[in-house]
Amino acid sequence: MASSLVFFLISTILILSNSISNAQPSSRPRALVLSITKDASTLQYTTIIRQRTPLATINVVLDLGGQFLWVDCDQFYESSSYVPARCGSAQCSPARYTSCATCYAPPRPGCNNNTCGVSPDNTVTGIATSGELAQDILAMESTNGKNVVSVVSVRRFLFTCGSTILLNGLASGVRGMAGLGRGRIGLPSRLAAAFSFNKKFAICLPSSISASGVVFFGNGPYIMQPNIDISTSLTYTPLLINPVGTSSAYTEEKSTEYFIGVKSIKVNDKAISLNTSLLSIKSNGFGGTKISTVNPYTVLETSIYKALTAAFIKEANLSGVPFTSRPRVGFCFDSSKVGSTRAGPKVPNIDFVLQSENVYWRITGANSLVPIEQAVGSLLCWGFVDGGSNPRTSIVIGAHQLQDNLLQFDLATSRLGFSSSLLSRQTTCSNFNFITSNA
């Protein structure tokens, strides 16, 4: 305990002396990493950022489409290096802020006059408030693609101050959200600007609550044990822009979320019949397909949900394994009756077909089904949810379907690289080596 405290103080002092010596980052890393943990009770994915003076570790929920990094500044924000972003300053200009804020209380982080106001939102509950844009020291782990190399820091990293009420609905111990959205003040853009690397990042969500996944910022390689570079052999599809923001914060801006163009859905290579009008993004922002880490399971508009579920039941039935409705848990297999493959239970494949017939995102048993233990035995249950008849977005590809898949977002070329299940490549998202080594 005492030795780890001493270590913490020494590393803090080292980082601070490093970063205070210049406004530039302490060194030019090739890429950065964050570890991702799955919270057992909320199924949210959390990560740890290191910020402030003295440096503090802050737990935040990872939000793929979120606007920016926001943290609660009402409580426990203590830092001698906090700098509010003043209206009209260079710091404010990328934010396209809508108001210049006044705060009728003693000054503190999150409460300063003449600061540009933005709207942090909790994308789990759909609540937004006003918040102060600010800067503070941020420290991150750099990587050579294979393991952690060192800790690097930026002296003035842009983020937003939110309030304690915004934390409702988030995993226990969490103090904010890390928005990886495509906007100009999203984490990917800010980190790329601070460390001068490509506006590119990749997420790899863990499937287990006991092992960490990883986010890479910057270029590959992304090497998982046993020495597999998962940044190679990605399939690419264009990222689409929804012209209307879907965040709960009022905004006239286009959405910071990541949409892709699903053209059809196949089950065991057979296309299911769909109302294709639902698959395109309308000018009012409705329709289309987005990727989300805050939805635990994929949510489908009712007619799509019914067609996919029926096709899956039919194909499973043809292969001799009944997929039947069970009380409370929905459609399930008795797991003792299902064979296994490298990529999970041996069940019909689901393909999200993209820009052409031969470009598809394949969902295998590990991602289509959820294991559930019951007194009567173990079940494998349907990992898709009915989103009702008029949802904002027709298909929201949720976290269960992203687990153990690498997704690389290239903001400069506006394309997504996806791997499908890494299990078939004999690795998982939990195989990154977070141990620090210069080798």
Q: Using CB under 6 A, list all residues that contact ligand NAG.
A: 102-104, 107, 111-113, 275, 277-278, 287, 313-314, 317
Q: How far is the CB of 319 from ligand NAG (least distance, A)?
A: 11
Q: How far is the CB of 56 from ligand NAG (least distance, A)?
A: 23
- 93 or 325, CB closer to ligand NAG? 325
Q: How near is the Cβ of 412 to ligand NAG at its closest, in Å?
A: 32
Give min distance, CB of 350 to ligand NAG, in A. 17
106 or 226, CB closer to ligand NAG? 106
E strands in 284-432: 289-291, 298-300, 324-326, 330-334, 340-341, 344-345, 350-353, 360-363, 369-374, 377-382, 384-386, 395-397, 405-410, 415-421
Buried b (16+ CB within 10 A) or exposed e, 56-84: bebbbbbbbbbbbbbbbbbeebebebbbb
Distances (CA, A) of 396 to 51, 80, 317, 376: 32, 41, 27, 32
Residue 64 beta carbon to ligand NAG: minimum distance, rounded to whole angstroms = 25
Nearer to ligand NAG, 261 or 287 (CB): 287
Which residue, 63 or 315, has its beta carbon nearer to ligand NAG?
A: 315
Structure tokens at 92: 């404010």
Q: Shortest distance, CB of residue 277 to ligand NAG, whole angstroms?
A: 4
Could you give the CA distance from residue 423 to residue 230 in angstroms, rounded to a whole number?
11
Whole-number minimum distance, CB 111 to ligand NAG, in Å? Answer: 5
Please say whether the beta carbons of 36 and 214 come within 8 A: yes
Task: Please report how close the Cβ of residue 88 comes to ligand NAG at its closest, in angstroms.
Answer: 17
Q: What is the CA radius of gyration of the chain?
A: 22
Taking the least distance from each CB to ligand NAG, the nearer of 72 and 121 is 72
Widest distance between CA atoms in the chain: 70
Measured on CA atoms in the order 366, 370, 373, 377, is the torsion positive or negative?
Answer: negative
Residue 279, C-beta contacts closer than 8 angstroms, at least 6 positions apart: 261, 262, 263, 264, 287, 288, 289, 394, 395
Copy the structure tokens of residue 146.
């294979």
By beta-carbon proximity to ligand NAG, the closer residue of 322 and 339 is 322
For ligand NAG, give the closer residue by CB, 112 or 147. Answer: 112
Q: Which CB sits closer to ligand NAG, 102 or 232?
A: 102
- Residue 408: count other Cβ atoms within 10 Å of its Cβ: 22
